[in-house]
Structure 1
Amino acid sequence: MKFTYIFFTCALLFVNIVSKANVLYQQDTIKNIAVADSTITPKTDTLKKNSKKGEITDVIKAVASDSSFYDVKNNMMYLYGNGRITYGDKEIDAGYIKINYKDNTIFAKGITDSLGRFSGLPIFKDPSQGALTADSVFYNFKTSKGKIFQVYSEQDGGYITGGKIKKQVNNEVHLKDVTYSTCNLPSPHQHFGIIITKGIATENQIVTGPAYMVIEDVPLPFIIPFGFFPKPNKRASGILLPQVGEDPTLGFFLRDFGYYIGLNDFWDLTLKGGVFSKGSYEANVASRYTKRYKYNGNIFFSYSSRKFGVEGTEEFENPTKDFQIRWSHTQNANARPGTNFGASVNASTRGAFRNLPGSSYQQIVQNQLSSSISYSKNWANSPFSLSTALTHSQDLTSGLVSLNLPSLNFSMTTLNPFDSKDRIGEQKWFQRIAVGYALQADNQLNTIDSLLFRSESLSKVRSGVQHNIPISMSSKVLKYFQFSQNINYSEKWYFQTIRKSYLARPTPTGTIDSIAIDTIPGFRRASEYSVGGSLNTKIYGIVNFKKGNLMAIRHVLTPNVGFSYRPDFGQAKYGYYDSLQSNQFGARTAYSIFENSLYGGPGNGKSAAINFGLENNIEIKVRDSKDTTNNGVKKIPILQGLSINGSYNFVADSLKLSQLSFGGRTFFTEKLGVSFSGSLNPYVFLTEIESGRVIGRNIDRYTWQDGKLPTLTNFNFSFDYSLNSNSLGKNNKSNNPPGNDNSDLFNRVNSQQAAQLQQINRNANAFVDFSIPWNLSFFYNFNYSNSGLTKALIQTLSANGDFNLTPKWKVQFNTGYDFNNKAISLTSFSIYRDLHCWDMSVSWIPFGPFQSYSVDLRVKSSILQDLKLSKRRNFYNQF
Structure 2
Amino acid sequence: MVRVPTRKVLLYGKTKTVYADMILQAPKVELDQRTQIVLATRSVDSAGNTIDAASFKTGETEMTNDTIRYNFKTQVGLTTKTYTQQGEMLVIGEKAKKVNLNTTFISTARFTTCLLDDPHFSFVAGKMKVINQKLAVSGPAHPEFEGVPIPVYVPFGFYPLSQGRHSGLLRPNFITDERRGIGLQDIGYYKVINDHWDVKLGADLFSYGEWATSLGASYRTRYRFNGGLTFNFRSSKQNFKGDPDFTSSKVFNISWSHAVDSRARPGVSFSANVNAGSTKYNQSIPGNAILPFQNIMGSSINFSKTWKNRPYNFSLSATHSQNNNLGLINLSLPNGAFTVNTIFPFQRKEGAGTAKWYEKLGVGYNGNFFNNISFYDTLSYGKNGIKPFFQYLLDTAEWGANHSIPITLSLPPVLGGRLIISPGISYNQVWLQRLTNYQWNESRQKVDTLNRKGMFIDQRASFSLGFNTALYGMYSFKKSRVLAVRHVMRPQLALSYTPDLNRSRIRYTKIDTTGRGIYYNEMGGQVLFNTASRQSGAVQFGIDNNLEMKYRSKKDTGKAAIKKVMILEGFGFNASYDLLRDSMRLSRDIPLYVRTTLFDKINVNASATLNPYQLDAKGNEINKLAWQGGKFSLGRITAGSVSIGTNIQSKPKDPKKEELKRKQQEERMQDPVLAADQQRLLEYMQQNPNEFVDFNIDWQLNISYSLSFYSRLRPDFSGFDTEFTNGMNLNGSFNLTPKWKLSGSASVDVKKMDIQYLTVSVNRDLHCWQLSINVIPVGFTRSFNFTVSPKAGLLQDLRINRTRFFTGY
- Shorter-chain TM-score range: 0.7 to 0.9
- Equivalent position to 2:762, from 831, 849, 868: 831
Question: AA paired with 2:393?
Answer: L
* Equivalent residue number for residue 393 of structure 2: 458
Classify 1:768/1:581 alpha carbon distance in 2 versus 1 (closer, same or farther; 3 Å). Answer: closer
| TM-score normalized with structure 2 length | 0.83
Name the CA distance, whole Å, in 1 between partners of 2:171 and 2:562: 66
Q: Name the CA distance, whole Å, in 2 between partners of 1:191 and 1:285.
A: 38
Separation (CA, whole Å) in 2 of partners of 1:112 and 1:201: 29
Deviations 1:12-61 (A, max 9, x none): xxxxxxxxxxxxxxxxxxxxxxxxx4xxxxxxxxxxxxxxxxxxxxxxxx
Could you tell me whether the CA contact under 8 Å between 2:436 and 2:450 is conserved in 1? yes
1:698 positional shift: 0.8
What is the CA–CA distance in structure 1 between the aligned matches of 2:111 and 2:515, rounded to whole Å? 91
- Give how far 1:580 is off: 8.3
Of 865, 870, 875 in structure 1, the residue corresponding to residue 796 of structure 2 is 865
| SS of residue paired to 2:693 | coil
Within-5 A mapping of 1:463-542: 463-475=399-411, 476-479=413-416, 480-494=418-432, 496-498=433-435, 515=448, 517-521=450-454, 523-542=455-474
Contact 1:499 1:520 in 2 (8 A): no
Corresponding residue to 2:697 among 772, 779, 783: 772
Change (3 A) 1:230 1:697: closer
Tell me if 1:334 matches 2:263: yes
For residue 561 of structure 1, the aligned residue among 487, 493, 508 is 493
Q: SS of the residue aligned with 1:417?
A: coil
1:703 partnered with 2:635: no
Question: Aligned residue for 2:78?
Answer: 147
Q: What amino acid is the match of 1:781?
A: S
The match for 1:685 among 609, 615, 636 is 615
Out of 249, 259, 265, the position equivalent to 1:320 is 249
1:375 partner SS: strand
SS at match of 1:430: helix
1:409 matched to which residue of 2? 337
User: Which one-letter code corresponds to 2:66 in the other structure?
Assistant: D
Q: Label 1:511 to 1:616 Cα distance change in 2 as closer, same or farther (>3 A).
A: closer
Structure 1 residues 339 and 626, CA, compared in 2 at 3 Å: closer, same or farther? farther
Select the residue among 548, 551, 560 that pairs with 2:483: 551
Query: What's the offset of the Cα at 1:485?
Result: 1.0
Change (3 A) 1:795 1:327: closer
Offset, 1:120: 5.3
Aligned match of 2:303:
375
Deviation of residue 435 (structure 1)?
2.0
SS at 1:443 equivalent: strand
- Partner of 1:455, secondary structure, is helix
Counterpart check, 1:874 vs 2:809: no
Output the CA distance in 2 between the equivalents of 1:517 and 1:98: 101
Q: Residue 398 of structure 1 aligns with which residue?
A: 326
| TM-aligned CA deviation for residue 455 of structure 1 | 1.8
Within a 5 Å distance, the mapping from 1:68-79 to structure 2 comes to 69=2
Taking the aligned partners of 1:861 and 1:181, their CA distance within structure 2 comes to 10
Question: Deviation string for 1:785-830 (max 9, x for gaps)?
Answer: 5688666665433332221111122222223543321334422222
Matches within 5 A, 1:227-242: 227=157, 237-240=167-170, 242=172
Map of 1:671 onto structure 2 = 601
Offset at residue 565 of structure 1 (A): 1.1
The residue aligned with 1:431 is 359
Q: Is the 8 A contact 2:439 2:450 kept in 1?
A: no
The SS at the match of 2:794 is helix
Deviation at 1:470, TM superposition (A): 1.0
Q: Distance in 1 between matches of 2:488 and 2:141?
A: 78
Question: Shift of residue 112 of structure 1?
Answer: 4.8
Cα distance in 2 for residues equivalent to 1:668 and 1:640 = 10
1:176 to 67, 82, 107: 107
2:574 to 645, 652, 655: 645
Deviation at 1:832, TM superposition (A): 1.7
Give the direction of change, closer, same or farther, for the CA distance of 1:115–1:700 in structure 2 (3 Å limit).
Answer: same
Q: Among the aligned pairs, what percent are the same residue?
A: 32
Distance 1:725 1:619 in 2: 28
Distance 1:304 1:152 in 2: 48
Check whether the contact 1:544–1:553 (CA below 8 A) recurs between aligned residues: yes
Note the alpha carbon deviations across 1:467-498, whole angstroms, 9 max, x for none.
2211112433455332211101112234x223
Residues 604 and 457 from structure 1, CA distance in 2 versus in 1: closer, same or farther, beyond 3 angstroms?
farther
Alignment of 1:672-821 (within 5 A): 672-688=602-618, 696-708=619-631, 709=633, 710-726=635-651, 733-734=653-654, 765=689, 766-783=691-708, 794-821=725-752
1:773 CA displacement: 1.8
Q: Distance in 1 between matches of 2:573 and 2:399?
A: 37
Alignment of 1:564-603 (within 5 A): 564-572=496-504, 576=505, 592-595=521-524
Are 1:661 and 2:591 matched, yes or no?
yes
Deviations 1:59-118 (A, max 9, x none): xxxxxxxxxx475x5566655555545455443334444455766755443345899774
The separation in 2 between residues aligned to 1:217 and 1:198, in whole angstroms, is 18
Q: Secondary structure at the match of 2:781?
A: coil
Deviation readout 1:206-237 (Å, 9 max, x if unpaired): 55322111112222222113345689999764
| Distance in 2 of aligned mates of 1:565 and 1:806 | 69
Q: Secondary structure at the match of 1:706?
A: coil
**1:211 and 2:211 aligned:** no
Report if aligned partners of 1:570, 1:604 keep a CA contact under 8 Å in 2: no
What do residues 323-347 of structure 1 show as CA deviations (whole Å, max 9, x unaligned)?
Answer: 2222222322322222222222223
Q: Which amino acid counterpart does residue 434 of structure 2 have in structure 1?
A: T
Pick the aligned partner of 1:281 from 205, 211, 226: 211
How does 1:232-271 map onto structure 2 within 5 Å?
Answer: 237-240=167-170, 242-244=172-174, 246-271=176-201
Q: Measure the CA separation in 2 of the matches of 1:779 and 1:721.
A: 7
* 1:853 correspondence with 2:784: yes
Give the C-alpha shift of residue 185 in structure 1. 1.4
Where does structure 2 lack aligned partners over 5 or more consecutive residues? Answer: 382-387, 527-531, 658-663, 669-676, 713-718
**CA–CA distance in structure 1, aligned partners of residues 162 and 704 of structure 2:** 54
User: Relative contact order, CA 8 A, sep 6+: which one is greater?
Assistant: 2
1:875 Cα shift?
A: 3.6
Q: Deviations over 1:531-561 (max 9, x none)?
A: 1112232232222233222322322333222
Does the C-alpha gap of structure 1 residues 182 and 292 become closer, same or farther in structure 2, counting only changes over 3 Å? same
Q: CA deviation at 1:763?
A: 5.2
CA distance in 2, matches of 1:331, 1:462: 32
Q: Deviations over 1:374-424 (max 9, x none)?
A: 222332222222333222233333333333323323223223222224323
Q: What whole-Å deviation, never above 9, does each CA across 1:825-860 have from its counterpart, x for those lacking one?
A: 422222221111111112222223233221211111
Distance, in Å, in 2 between the alignment partners of 1:849 and 1:253 is 19
